[in-house]
Structure 1
C-alpha cells in the first residue's frame, strides 16, 4: 500500500478551489433546517403524487425490505423498495421447491427440479408412462425448460433517488424503475438512504454502500446475477452512483480517507479541537473489516498497477483490523457492470454562484434551482461546515484522483445530462476525465430541458421524451451486460447513445 501522503492527495487542492463549505448567509439553526426540510418533503410528496398520476402510471414497488446500517457509526435501518419482473415470484417458487441437494447444482439436478415442478413436487408418475417415445419428448421438454430458468440470472439495478440529500423517497423514480424492469427483465432496488439534516455527510454514501453490499450478499435469495449489478441515480443520487463505488473501494482496502482528512485539516489550521472528526466521517468507527487476502498487498489507487483495473472495479481485498468490540465482516469483491447517472452533481468545490454563472440569465431564471433550495441542501448535508472537505471523493467525485477513478469504477458509464442545467459543465468535464482514464462513457445531453426535467408534476400527461430517453439508456445497458431484449416495447426507442471516439457501427452493435 502506498504511504498515507499519497492516499491523502485526493483531499488536497488540485487547483484553486473552495475546499470548505461556507454558507452564503448567516447559518441557520439545525432545528430550523429540520422544520424547512420536513415542510418541503411534504410539498414534494404532493408534487410526486401528481407526477405518478400521469398516464401511463408507473408501477408500485412489489415489496420492501429494511436492512441494518453497518458502515455508519449512526445506527439505523435502510428501507429498500423492490420492483421485480412479472415471472419473479414464479421463479422464486421453483427455486424454493428445488431438491435439497448438497453442493453445487449439476445438470441432472436441474432436470430433476424441472421434473419435480411438472410432476407436482416429485410424486411418482410411472403410471402415466405411455411409451418410451413420449417419455423422451418429455425429458427434452424439461431440459429446454431448465435452459430458460431465470432464478439466479436476473440483472439488478440499484437506484438512488435525488433531492439534494435532503428531500425525496425511493419511489420518486418509479417510471425509471418500471422501464428498467420491463426492458431488461431486471430486479430494480431503490434505496431510501437516510437524509440530511438529520443525517449529514457522509451518511447517504455509507447507506448506499451498505445497500450494495447487502444486495450482493443476498443474491441467492433475490435470484440475481452477481456479475450483472449496475447503479443508477438522479441528481444527488447520480452523485452516489460514483461516490458509493469509491467508498466501497476504500472499505475494501481498509483506508479511512476522511480520518486522514481531519488530521490534515487540524495541522493546516493549527486547531485540532475545531475539527469534529466524529461527525466528519462515521467510517472512523466502522464496524466492518475486510477479509484477509492471500496476497501481500493489492494495487492501490496510486499504484501504477491499478491502471490495469478498468474492467475489475473493487477487485482487491486488504486486511483491516476490526475496532475493539466489533466483529470482522468480510467485504466481498463486487464487479459492478455499469453506472447510470442522470444529471449528476459532481464538484462541490464549485460554489453555487459559479455553477449558476454557467447559464445565461434568461435560462438561469427559467431552469435553475433557486437558492431557497440549494442553500437548504448544502447547509443540511454539509455539516459541520468548517470540517467538510469539499474535494473529498465521497462528495466531489469530479475532482477525485484519476488513479482512484480508474481502479474503483467499472468500465461502462451511461451518463445523461440536461442542456439547461447548471451542473452540465462539470458533468462534461468529468466525462472527459473518465475517458482519459480508459472508461467507456455513453453520453446523451437532452436538449432544451433543465435539471430534473423527467419529474414534471403534470397529472394529465407524462413529460415528453422521458420514456424515449429511458429506453435509449436501457438499450445501452442491454448491450453492455449482454442481455436479450426484454418484454418491453422496443419499437418505441428513438435515436441512439454513442460512446465518445467510436463510430456508429460499434455504438449500434452495443445497443443490440
Structure 2
C-alpha cells in the first residue's frame, strides 16, 4: 500500500467543514424535486465552467474523437438514444487488439460530464494506446438511483458490441471511474454478473471485464455523514454539508433509512463474499483527507483477506477529488497517480506501457490554451513507501 505526498487541499467552497451534530437530519430530504434540481443546475454550471478552464490550461486536455448515443433498456426511464458517450481514439491505426477503457465520471450523481476526465483519457491513450469511452449517465435528482448505474450497465454492453467499429478487442475491456462514477463502475460489474437478481433483461450478453480502476469511490451508504466525517483526520477538508445534503437527497429517492441501504448496486463495498471472490483485479486510489477513506480501506482489507489481486494507494495530504479543478493546472501528483493506474492496467493486460505522446499531439485539444500564471507556485511531490 503506497502513499503519495502532494500539496494540501481545501474544501470546495473555501470554508472549513464542520461535522454534523449527532442525530442530524438532512433538511433537503423534504424538499421538492424541482427545488433540488434548481440547486443542482447552479452547481452544474459552475462546475462546467471550472472544467472548461482547467482543460484548456497547459498542457491542454485532448478533445473526444467522436460522440454517440446508446439506448436505455433496463431503466424505468428507458428509451432509444438516451445515454450519450464520448470516445477518445488514438491517432495510430488500430489492428483490432487495443484495449478499451469505459469510464464513469464523478459528481455525486448530480453533476459532471464525460469530458471532466479528459486528462485521464489522454493518459490512457498515451500509456496504453487504448480506446477510451466516457459514459454520460443521466443525473439525479431527475434520475435518482438506480438509473445512473443502469445507464452505465447499458453503455458497457452496447459499447462492447461495437468493438470492430472502434478498433478494440471486446475481451480487453477495463472499467474505471471517479467518486460517484467509481461507485457506478463497481456496481456495474456487480449487475453484469447476475442481471436476473435485479430483474434486468440485458440487450446483449455482458462482456468479460479484465479489471477495475476505482478513484475514491463511495462504497457504503449505510454509514451516516457524521460517522464518515468522524473517521476523517481532517473533517474540515471534507466536502461541505451543503453539497453532501444535496447529493444524498437527490440520489436516494424516495428516502431510504441508512441501515437499509445495503443493495450492492448502491453500496458495492458490502457485496457478499461469494461475489467478491469473483472480482477481477482492482486498482484503488484513495485520499487521506476524504470522508470516504475509511470505507475504502475496509474494502481493500476485504480484497486482501480474500486473496484478490489488487493495489491500493492513498494520496497523502489530499482531499476528495484532488485531481480535479479548481487548480489552474494539474498537480504533479495527478500524473503520478494516473501513471500508477495505467501501469496496473498494463500488468492486467500483460503488455508494456505503449507511450505514444508524439502522435497524440495531432489530436484536437481544448482551445485557446491558458498558460499557468507565473505567480502560482510549483509544487513537487514524491512517493513514500
Which TM-score bucket, shorter chain as reference?
Answer: 0.7 to 0.9
Q: Distance in 2 between matches of 1:151 and 1:427?
A: 38
Equivalent of 2:108, from 164, 167, 183?
164
Aligned to 1:255: 197
In structure 2, how many angstroms separate the alpha carbons of the residues matched to 1:333 and 1:74? 21
Q: Does 1:183 align with 2:127?
A: yes
1:474 to 2:342 alignment:
yes
Q: Displacement, 1:489? A: 6.4
TM-score, normalising length from structure 1?
A: 0.63
Partner of 1:348: 221
Hey, what does 1:82 align to over in structure 2? 87
More strand, by proportion: 2
Q: Please say if residues 219 and 225 of structure 1, whose CA atoms lie closer than 8 Å, have aligned partners that are also in contact.
A: yes
Would the aligned equivalents of 1:50 and 1:457 in 2 still touch at CA under 8 Å?
no
2:46 is aligned to 43
Q: Give 1:488 deviation, angstroms.
A: 4.1
Distance in 2 between residues matched to 1:151 and 1:332, nearest whole Å: 24
CA contact (8 A) 2:126 2:355 kept: yes
Aligned to 1:12: none
User: Unaligned stretches of 5+ in structure 2?
Assistant: 1-23, 359-380
**1:378 counterpart (245, 248, 251):** 248
Once residues 33 and 208 of structure 1 are traced to their aligned partners in structure 2, the CA distance between those partners, rounded to angstroms, is 23
Pairing 1:65–2:72 present: no
Secondary structure, aligned partner of 1:354:
helix
Structure 1 partner of 2:99: 155
Q: When the two structures are aligned, how many residues end up with a matched partner? A: 336
Tell me if the contact between 1:476 and 1:497 (Cα under 8 Å) persists in the aligned partners. Answer: no
The answer to whether the 8 A contact 1:349-1:390 is kept is yes
Cα offsets for 1:422-463 (capped at 9, x unmatched): 10110010011122233111111111110000003233x322
Matching residue of 2:304: 435
The 5 Å alignment of 1:279-428 reads 283=199, 286=200, 288=201, 329=203, 331-360=204-233, 363-365=234-236, 367-386=237-256, 389-407=260-278, 409-410=279-280, 412-428=281-297
Distance 1:81 1:333 in 2: 20
Alpha-carbon distance in 2 for matches of 1:376, 1:166: 8
1:249 shift after superposition: 1.4
Give distance in 1, aligned partners of 2:25 and 2:67. Answer: 37
Give yes or no for contact 2:192–2:206 (8 Å, CA) kept in 1. no
> Given that residues 472 and 495 in structure 1 are in contact (C-alpha distance below 8 angstroms), is that contact kept between their aligned partners in structure 2?
no
Deviation at 1:495, TM superposition (A): 7.9
CA deviations 1:370-415 (Å, max 9, x no partner) are: 11001101100100114894111000011121112223x21x1011
Cα 1:357–1:413 change in 2 (3 A) is same
- Long gaps (5+) in structure 1: 1-21, 92-149, 257-282, 290-328, 499-512
Query: 2:71, 2:345 → 1: CA distance?
Result: 30
Which 4+ runs in 1 deviate beyond 3 A? 386-389, 494-498
User: What is the alpha-carbon root mean square deviation over aligned residues?
Assistant: 2.1
Q: Which has the higher helix share?
A: 1
Q: Does 1:484 align with 2:357?
A: no
What is the SS of the residue equivalent to 2:121?
A: helix
CA distance in 1 between partners of 2:57 and 2:315 (Å): 21
Q: 1:23/1:204 Cα in 2 relative to 1: closer, same or farther (>3 Å)?
A: farther
What secondary structure is seen at the aligned counterpart in 1 of 2:102?
A: strand
With structure 2 as the length reference, what TM-score do the two structures score? 0.83
Which one scores higher on RCO, CA 8 angstroms, separation ≥ 6?
2
Which residue does 2:372 correspond to in 1?
A: none
Q: Give the distance between the partners of 2:382 and 2:161, measured in 1 at CA.
A: 37
